[in-house]
Amino acid sequence: MEKFNTLLYYCYSPIANAEQFAADHLKFCKSLDLVGRIIVADEGLNGTVSGTKAACAAYMEAIHADERFAKTEFKLDEVDEPSFIKMHCRYKSEIVHSGLRDTSIINPNEKTGKHLEPTEFKEMIDQEDVIILDVRSNYEHSLGKFKNAITLDIENFREFPEKINELAQYKDKKVLTYCTGGIKCEKASALLLHHGFNDVYQLHGGIIKYGKEAGGEDFEGKCYVFDNRIAVDVNTINPSTVSKCYNCGTVTAKMINCANPECNEHVTQCDECGTKLHGCCSEACVTNPRRRPYDGTGYYVKVPQPVNISAK
């Protein structure tokens, strides 16, 4: 079976005419038969793309050949099938939505937390004056997080700025932020600095790179990802399961999409509750007439369309 690659990356680097760039870039990606999701903004690029190894290699080469993106780091995974169905490349106001468009306050190109490589992060996390801050949302950290990390009760990263007051007690500590691939930390750590936190660090490349380069040690549970895989294992040193069934509280690492397509909520659910609720998150969803048949995986993939002939 042919193996594919999935690439995760971001690059904060100003793009002039970003809207036009997005349209052209979409054509370019389609010419390589890539699938995925890319966000283009005036401040840079953020994407996950998937395709044959050759296509992914050509894509990385093209990105690196553009001097604006020469420093881009790709996190590369080998996958059995492409991690998306279609190719999307869209222009948005920010590459990660923080709601903070004032670049005079938050501009990761100018000021952001100190980057820690995975091994440096690993050396620091057990020190006394350090706190580890997970800047991701509830559905992400409920599936897995670093041991002893502080998590925030947020549904979306744009709620992060509202939570900074709750962290005031840590202003004089070394604050180590982390997220999935590093992109949110560029803004989160910049914002912490802006609010008077003195010693702010960020895990460069996020949990994904930490998994590859530091074995994922002390990351408890799984890492939520924004593609069809939903969750990936990152810890090969001391793996554990921390997530609990949304319905009964049993420890389980299984994450499902609710079988009710109108809900489609991502929840952790044990096999027993999955069988009882036909793969739904709740009794209410079980009664939905459009409920999809539950095959025990809790995973519903749309029928893949060959990307090169689809009109969109």
What residue ranges bind Zn ion (CB under 5 A)? 245, 247-248, 250, 258, 260, 263, 265, 270, 273, 281, 285
Q: Has 248 been annotated as catalytic?
A: no
Active-site pick, 11, 29, 89, 179? 179
Taking the complex as a whole, the smallest distance from the CB of residue 144 to Zn ion amounts, in Å, to: 18
Taking the complex as a whole, the smallest distance from the CB of residue 151 to Zn ion amounts, in Å, to: 22
Name which of 144 and 279 has its Cβ closer to Zn ion: 279
User: Integer distance in angstroms from the first to the last C-alpha of the chain?
Assistant: 28
Taking the complex as a whole, the smallest distance from the CB of residue 255 to Zn ion amounts, in Å, to: 13
Name which of 5 and 260 has its Cβ closer to Zn ion: 260
- Candidates 94, 77, 88, 92; CA nearest to 12 is 94
- The secondary structure element, H or E, covering residue 188 is helix 183-194
Residue by residue, DSSP assigns 225-287 as -SSTT-EE---SSS-----B-TTT--B---EEE-SSTTT--EEE--HHHHHHTTT-SSHHHHT
Taking the complex as a whole, the smallest distance from the CB of residue 203 to Zn ion amounts, in Å, to: 32
Name which of 5 and 268 has its Cβ closer to Zn ion: 268
Taking the complex as a whole, the smallest distance from the CB of residue 278 to Zn ion amounts, in Å, to: 11
Residues 6+ positions from 229 with CB-CB distance below 8 Å: 6, 79, 83
Residues 6+ positions from 10 with CB-CB distance below 8 Å: 44, 45, 46, 47, 72, 95, 96, 181, 182, 183, 186
Residues 6+ positions from 182 with CB-CB distance below 8 Å: 10, 202, 203, 204, 205, 206, 209
Taking the complex as a whole, the smallest distance from the CB of residue 229 to Zn ion amounts, in Å, to: 21
Name which of 290 and 302 has its Cβ closer to Zn ion: 290
Q: How many CB atoms lie within 10 A of CB 219?
A: 26
- If you search the block for the tokens 């006394």, which residue do you land on? 128
Residues 6+ positions from 256 with CB-CB distance below 8 Å: 266, 267, 268, 269, 274, 279, 281, 297, 298, 299
Taking the complex as a whole, the smallest distance from the CB of residue 86 to Zn ion amounts, in Å, to: 24
Name which of 214 and 273 has its Cβ closer to Zn ion: 273
Name which of 167 and 286 has its Cβ closer to Zn ion: 286
- The secondary structure element, H or E, covering residue 10 is strand 4-12
Distance in angstroms (rounded) separating the CA atoms of residues 58 and 52: 10
Using an 8 Å Cβ cutoff, are 254 and 297 in contact? no
Name which of 106 and 255 has its Cβ closer to Zn ion: 255
Catalytic residue numbers, as ranges:
179
